[in-house]
Structure 1
Amino acid sequence: MRKRATFAMLAAASALGGFTGPAAYADETVGDIQIIDVSVNGGKSIAVGLADKTVTVSVTAADPSGIWDADFYLWRGTDPDNPDGYITPNEDTTPADCVASSATTSTCSKTFTFEPDWWLTNADAGTWKVGVDVWANDDSWTQRDAYTTTRLQRYSKLTVNAGPEPIAKGKTLKVTGKLTRANWDTDVYAGYTAQPVKLQFRKAGTSTYTTIKTVSTSSTGDLQTTTTASVDGYWRWNFAGTTTTPAVSATGDYVDVQ
């Protein structure tokens, strides 16, 4: 299995089309071209598990002559000329897929594929800046090093088990579970340690969960607590998420109280 530090193998990986060394970028606009909006993964964070994940990055731009092409790049650090990490789209040399909504305005898109079994490491999780280049038909163009940001996250899972069931009213109910997230260094799901997770309950026949208490995960990501059984309903764990890990809720476990 081949792994790398965040920036250590960029030169080698560029030969595969997944990465390339950065050029000397600077925010600049020539002509009347304007960026209207940039979208990464439909506005959602990029949560990657242990399988490859492909997302779309798009820019909507306008120019009196119409839009010709666009390109994108993700990077980390304080200097785009000397980034800590740099990611380019799939088939980086090909034109973007541009769809015109009028004679002046188009939305141009490219895809990025994140490969946990090849180049992703745990250190890659976090916030990335999104750079955008757009060209118009009359040779107007614009470059924006950090038009927006996106989060690259380690996909999370959360389980729950409440018992015994059925249980007599007023008896002690034990609720367990486990919070795990993708470990891109070892290609397994591993326990997420020392994270606050809410125990929530939804009474049968209702649609809203109420938080009962907050419990921290163990060194292996396990959760365990007790509560008093009162009425029929569903128990679940709810994790709010972090910068590197998305929020997740367990599927409610129904308990029959007799």
Structure 2
Amino acid sequence: MTPLQQARQAAVDARARYRAGLVAPSAGQAPGLTQANMITLPREWAYDFLLFAQRNPQACPVLDVTEPGSYSTFLAEGADLRTDLPAYRVWRDGQLAEEVSDVREHWAQHDDLVSFLIGCSFTFEADLINAGIDVRHISQGCNVPMYRTNKLCRPAGRLHGEMVVSMRPIAAERVADAARITARYPGVHGAPVHVGEPALLGIDDLTRPDFGDAVTLKPGEIPVFWACGVTPQAVVMASKVPFAISHAPGHMFITDIADSYYHV
């Protein structure tokens, strides 16, 4: 098999493991293939979110939108968005109601759900690693740290809320390299939105992320922040959306699309 065929087989295998009940962060799985965040909303909220994403493309770069009621996507043939992510969150009236590994039961209660697959910064991590830049949550075997910020997104319709960011510690002398590498992936968040000084984003303590796990910040490293596809979950909370399904932070949908597709 070619390297791309091998990667796609790894993606098929990973989705099968998640469908069978494995719950684990997806970072580092099927390297070379794009990963995606997911937010699923009733049809009556879908236009508001599509407009929200259009107005906030760095936080919500849309890779695909499903037809109402559909749980398939062109991003992965034969995949099932109800079962093939490692973990999901179910939201009611802006509150987290459940975290589960299968949402078929919840999906069956609605016949008009629309799913948005949103670019994920996990996609560009292989290029960082290949450039000799340590991706700390992968080397430490944990979930990426994510933080709510004081940076408000542009509202749309009934939706509003703050941007969520992911953080990766980068050696000071490699920050420019990391920014240059990730800027070539605008469809999966692109360049950092902030470098250093977490307090300017309203982040008081890097050891206490709002989502994911804390990672070690070594001497000589600078915290670098990227827009994060968990932003829609912060928006669901702030806007008190009556019902929504999302991926659990760090537990992404692994597509069959090569990372290079989003590289410019």
Q: Into which bin does the TM-score normalised by the smaller protein fall?
A: under 0.3
Please identify the structure whose Cα radius of gyration is greater: 1
TM-score normalised by length of structure 1: 0.27
Structure holding more strand per residue: 1
TM-score normalised by length of structure 2: 0.27
Structure holding more helix per residue: 2
